[in-house]
Amino acid sequence: MADRLLAEFEDEAAIIAAIRRLGDEGYGRLEVYMPFSSQEVEEALALATGARRSRLPLAIFLFGIGGASAAYFLQWLLVGYLYPLDAGGRPPHFPLAFVIITFEMGVLAASLCAFFGTLILGRLVRLTDDVQGTPGFESVTGDRFWLEVPVRGASDEPERTRRLLIDAGALRALRLEVPR
């Protein structure tokens, strides 16, 4: 695994320009860090790296359906089949009365999936990561945008990329040592 460069940018416009530039230069696998979710940046990035849409919605849907049907089955099993006690003359299997819990459990399952799905897919179940240690990186939750560029090949490659970034408008570009 090769090293990476981290470049800090003033604002959206700057980083978008840089992304386009590096894209033209044939850099793939770019990664962006930003203080808020900026549509423009993401579009630019998608153009440059061809990133796909999130798969989370599908999972949530499946969990919702699963939760609901499990809830209905449980209700039928308990009061409709295993213990059909007579309560007010209502028939043991009483779909009308089962609807609400079914619905609520569906929503519950889906919501849990949405939350934890976001954490998992977003790699958010951790304390910190390798980029966080970078000096000045905390500005990413302030008002700055950061671009991560992997560098490979020739020994002068990193230096070339760094210059490329600088005159693409980066305030600064640091080389990120990956512990070996």
**Binding segment (CB under 8 A) for other proteins, from list 21-29, 136-144, 152-160, 170-178:** 136-144
The yes or no reply on residue 12 touching other proteins (CB under 8 A) is yes
User: CA 125, 127, 130, 135 torsion: positive or negative?
Assistant: positive
Residue 67: name the closest of 112, 109, 116, 113 by CA.
Answer: 109
Q: What DSSP string describes 114-179?
A: HHHHHHHHTT-SSS--TTTTSTTGGGGGTT-EEEEEE--SSTTHHHHHHHHHHHTT-SEEEEEPPP
The yes or no reply on residue 111 touching other proteins (CB under 8 A) is yes
The yes or no reply on residue 18 touching other proteins (CB under 8 A) is no
Whose Cβ is closer to other proteins: residue 128's or residue 155's? 128
Interface contacts to other proteins, rule CB under 8 A: 12, 31-38, 41-42, 45, 51, 53-54, 56-57, 60, 64, 74-75, 78-79, 82-83, 85-91, 94, 97-98, 100-101, 103-105, 107-108, 110-112, 114-115, 117-119, 121-129, 131-132, 137-143, 146
